[in-house]
Amino acid sequence: MNKVYSVGETTYDIIFRNGQPTGAIVGGSVLNTSVSLGRLGIPVSFISRMGNDQIGDLSLTFLNENGVNCDYVTRFEGNSRLAMAFLDSDNNADYQFYKAAKTPSLRFPELEKSDRIIFGSTNAVRDEGRNSLLLFLNQAHDKNILTIYDPNIREFGAFELIEVRRKFEENLHLTKVLKESNQDFKRLYETTNPDEIFAKVTCFGVEVLIMTNGSDPIQLRTKTISMDIPVQAVETTSTIGAGDNFSAGIIFGFIKEEVETRSLLAVDELKWKTILDHANSFAVEVCQSDSNYITREFVKEYLSND
């Protein structure tokens, strides 16, 4: 049935340009991925937590309206998570987060072998609820389910980074496809060399590494393939959600090409290019708008041409 389960934070983004708030939008790294998948008609369930407040109500309504199943969203008494996104002259965002006061445990579904999972961001390395997350990912690992990890590592102090790196590597043991920006690895290991990075992550069981670096080529590494794929040049309105929609494009490509764990290493260069072209198209679309997700108009045209 090509079901996708996405695990991540719910965040309400308030956007600033030139020091002034210019808009607000439901956000969160994996949430952005989920909304785009929902708009594409892919059966996606979002696993998250949000406050029992007006922001939580708004977020839940928005997700339901965009085809995202919220059966596994946990509500709690208190305020939802907020993020202030300050756009610089190049329309790149610098974030300040205001965390929710409570972080109850997440609820997880029973999995089937044909399911796919994407997880990542802060939710994947925080202490709260980590045992239940690892239990869920281990269940997926035991069933050989395709898991995609998008770490989206933020800035951490030197002491915090040691613990973040430990949890990151623990997550890699339960990951088949690692999609990561070169900034993530610069922060984690002070290197952006894709061959060094792939050699490191394969030791944990990762089978595919996909590295992004803004307008520079996408770098793909598997045990048999090494590809650098140019990306489309674009005049950027905002980079918020670009990487998240790149992940949505990967999942869309996996579903279109019927890629599962057992066939992952059999994907050839031509099929990988097709998959990553979807990812790049979604990211470019989001970069040209103030939205965190691909628009319904884009989806209609894209599906009619695909």
What pLDDT is recorded for position 1?
66
Give tens-digit pLDDT for 119-151.
998 889 988 889 999 999 999 999 999 999 999
C-alpha dihedral, 263 to 269 to 275 to 277, nearest 10° = 180
Give tens-digit pLDDT for 273-302.
999 999 999 999 999 988 899 999 999 999
CA-closest candidate to residue 251, choices 288, 208, 215, 214: 208
Task: Label residue 68 exposed, middle or buried (CB < 10 Å: 0-12, 13-18, 19+).
Answer: buried
Residue 228's contacts (CB-CB under 8 Å, 6 or more residues apart) are 217, 218, 219, 220
Flag whether the pTM goes above 0.85: yes
Give tens-digit pLDDT for 165-197.
999 999 999 999 999 988 888 888 889 999 999
Q: In what order do the strands lie in the sheet with 93-98?
A: 20-27, 11-17, 81-87, 93-98
What pLDDT is recorded for position 23?
85
The distance in angstroms from the start CA to the end CA of the chain is 20
Q: Return the SS3 of 109.
A: coil
The CATH architecture one would assign to domain 4-8+30-54+64-79+106-305 is: 3-Layer(aba) Sandwich (3.40)
Q: Return the SS3 of 230.
A: coil
Q: Return the SS3 of 19.
A: coil
pLDDT band at 155 (very low <50, low <70, confident <90, very high): low
Beta-ladder partners of 95: 85
Give tens-digit pLDDT for 226-262.
999 998 878 888 888 899 999 999 999 999 999 999 9
The residue-averaged pLDDT of 100-119 equals 89
Instruction: Pull the structure tokens for residue 98.
Output: 């205001």
Q: Return the SS3 of 20.
A: strand
CA-closest candidate to residue 254, choices 274, 232, 238: 274
Mean pLDDT of the chain: 92
Beta-carbon neighbour count of residue 195 at 10 Å?
12
- DSSP states of 58-100 as a string? HHHHHHHHTTEE-TTEEEESSPPEEEEEEE-TTS-EEEEEE--
What is the DSSP-derived secondary structure letter of residue 123?
Answer: G
The residue-averaged pLDDT of 265-279 equals 96
What pLDDT is recorded for position 157?
67
Question: Does 52 have pLDDT greater than 90?
Answer: yes
